[in-house]
A and B are shown apart, each in its own frame.
Chain A
């Protein structure tokens, strides 16, 4: 390259180089972001029927797990909370199932196709059925936005998802998917969209959105958890607990007409007492 001969020439070259580097930097970041974009694009191409098929496989696998809580009173209470919400979910192609699983993690996980797994410590942390409803409403938001499928496609690729759907012997894969989903982290945009969906659904279901804020506040790091040993708040690590999200819940609560609030009549303390203790033998 010929050396620049004047100051103007050098300034022009420097500006040009800066623009080229800026464009390259943006392209690099876009290229890194591309797999997620592609995953979203690919996930959108996956028919819902395949997702539902995958869910059935996951549900079948889960139901063989001895840690699934099968207590009829608890299941009825959770279903009652779920049904209050689902009565206001219109135009959905998913049938939402909620399973309660014994664990030592405070967490709730949503799998593709509308399978929501709530872990017992999270249930214990809720003070009312409305607080559980707030968590479920958020998770239903993920289901409706197909976030679990998008994350799964991002993690394992669309071809693996297809092979899981098409059968063979999917159990080892399903087991892997279940383990992956325990650590899955949605993007902030996905979380925020699920929050907005959940808060709207709560209001439509005549439940005060402040319940979501109250529950999220319990997940803040200084919260002490009942038990002899500290319990890791997995829900916190997989659902970024920003103050702004709590503020959004309280802002939605301000807009909510409290005259329309209808409590969920469940003796929640009784339900929580019926939960298996972490010290029980499985």
Chain B
């Protein structure tokens, strides 16, 4: 989506030179924070997720650029945390329960989670660098969701639309 197209749709995106250093640093911080939460919460992934959510709520009322990156980082972090949590819980059940069934399926699941973690880390580094430079970087799905949340908001609030006087139906 280029600038002309954005303008055609009424979406005006901030350009790198228009953003303050603080906005760029906070946007970059969203990914760094997710990294920290990911690392710190590795044995207990859901605790790391809580830390990520707190960071997002702190930043969501700052500029749209920062909020966009914070929201995108959080949305990306959620499935990774759930994946890691599932692996940890499954591992604990196998270990504590002395279960021996499906160990290979568990190993395959851990490999699956590991590959996603690598992809997550690599793409977060790219996003982090882009954010620091004041650029947008869109992950699949979560990028569009975040963009829609912060840049495609209706110009007229829904409550206002509902209150408008309308003619009778059919006239």
Residue numbers of A with Cβ under 8 A of B are 4, 7, 10-11, 13-14, 21-22, 24-26, 28-30, 32-33, 188-189, 192, 242-244
Contacts and interface: CB of A to CB of B under 8 A. Distances in A.
Interface string B108-145: 11011011100000000000000000000000110010
Contacts of A30: 104
A249 to B, nearest CB: 15
A10 B144 CA distance: 9
Interface residues of B, number: 15
Interface in B89-120: 98, 100, 103-104, 107-109, 111-112, 114-116
Given A21-B116, A242-B98, A13 B108 contact: no
B98 A243 contact: yes
Contacts of A11: 140-141
Contacts of B104: 29-30, 33
A4 B139 CA distance: 11
A25 B108 contact: yes
A23 to B, nearest CB: 9
Interface of B: 98, 100, 103-104, 107-109, 111-112, 114-116, 140-141, 144
Given A25-B109, A25-B111, A10 B140 contact: yes
Given A29-B104, A33-B104, A243-B98, A4 B112 contact: no
Nearest to A21: B115
Contacts of B98: 242-244
Contacts of A243: 98
A83 B112 CA distance: 51
B140 A29 contact: no
A188 B106 CA distance: 15
Contacts of B100: 188-189, 192, 242, 244
Contacts of A192: 100
Given A7-B144, A29-B111, A33-B104, 9 more contacts: A14-B140, A22-B108, A22-B112, A28-B108, A30-B104, A32-B107, A188-B103, A189-B100, A244-B100
Nearest to B141: A10
Nearest to B101: A188
Contacts of A21: 112, 115-116
A13 B140 contact: yes
23 contacts: A10-B140, A11-B141, A13-B140, A14-B140, A14-B141, A21-B115, A24-B111, A24-B115, A25-B109, A25-B111, A25-B112, A25-B114, A26-B108, A26-B111, A28-B111, A29-B104, A29-B108, A29-B111, A33-B104, A188-B100, A188-B103, A192-B100, A242-B98
